Amino acid sequence: MPALIHTCYRIGDIDRSVAFYEKLGFEELSRMPIRDEAINVFMGLPGDGPRLELTYNFGVDSYTHGTGYNHIAITVDDMAATLERLASLGIQPEKPPYTVREGGSLLCFVRDPDDYRIELIERDPGTS
């Protein structure tokens, strides 16, 4: 069976992006140069492997996202505590947490340094 192994997007500054994703709980797992053109930085959540590939192309410091891209999503155990911790690190949500339906998961969006959206979804304590 096929498996989704990672998501990739292009970044304008390696150190800035790595620092942001580390604040979300990711860790840098490896860097792979692509000839003299680019560097791929692989990030992952603890124990999960390289799920996010950040590509820095030499000489390019910004990209347009187009109208098709929306977000990636990660779970958090406690939305309030997560947002408080992120605020202390300079990361603010787009708007306060909300649910899309009665009894649904609490969610909230933040943006990375290249303006990519990351959805934070509070994990249901009963599904750990």
The two structure tokens encoding residue 46: 């603890």
Q: What are phi and psi of 23, to 5 degrees?
A: -65, -30
Strands, DSSP E only, in 1-128? 7-11, 27-34, 38-44, 52-57, 71-76, 107-111, 117-122
Instruction: Check 28, 53, 119, 122 and give the catalytic one.
Output: 119
Instruction: For tokens 């999503």, name the residue.
Output: 73
Tell me, yes or no, if 102 is annotated catalytic. no
The catalytic site residues sit at 119
